[in-house]
Amino acid sequence: MPIIVNLDVMLAKRKIRSRELAARIELTEANVSLLKSGKVRGIRFDTLEKICAALDCQPGDILEYVPDSADDAEPRAAPRRSA
């Protein structure tokens, strides 16, 4: 998956445990664990906002885009229709 979740790195930098973050942002420890492992398909903006506020960071500190291959780095053009 080209989106890497670096939540564990930010937690270590801020010396905050997952349990403490979960309590601060009112999320279950299980959901914080899923976020840390990257096993989620999405995240709500309000949850991301709470995480950033609790860790005093930016969304880019937590989420990183890494293309799978060189082909993924360039946007693909839509196919043209013939008239």
Give residue-wise pLDDT tens across range 26-38. 999 999 999 999 8
Q: Are 45 and 23 in contact (CB under 8 A)?
A: no
**78 or 8, higher pLDDT:** 8
Write the DSSP symbol of residue 78: P
How does 2-40 read in b/e, with b if 16+ C-beta sit within 10 Å? eeebbbeebbeeeeeebeebbeebebeeeebeebbeeee
pLDDT in tens, 47-62: 999 999 999 999 999 9
- The pTM score is 0.77
> What is the pLDDT, as a whole number, of residue 68?
85
pLDDT over threshold 70, residue 23:
yes
pLDDT at 79: 58
Can you give the pLDDT at residue 71?
A: 56
Listed by start position, the domains of the chain span 3-67
Pick the CATH number of 3-67 from 1.10.3720.10, 3.10.20.30, 3.40.630.40, 1.10.260.40: 1.10.260.40
CA distance 55 to 58: 9
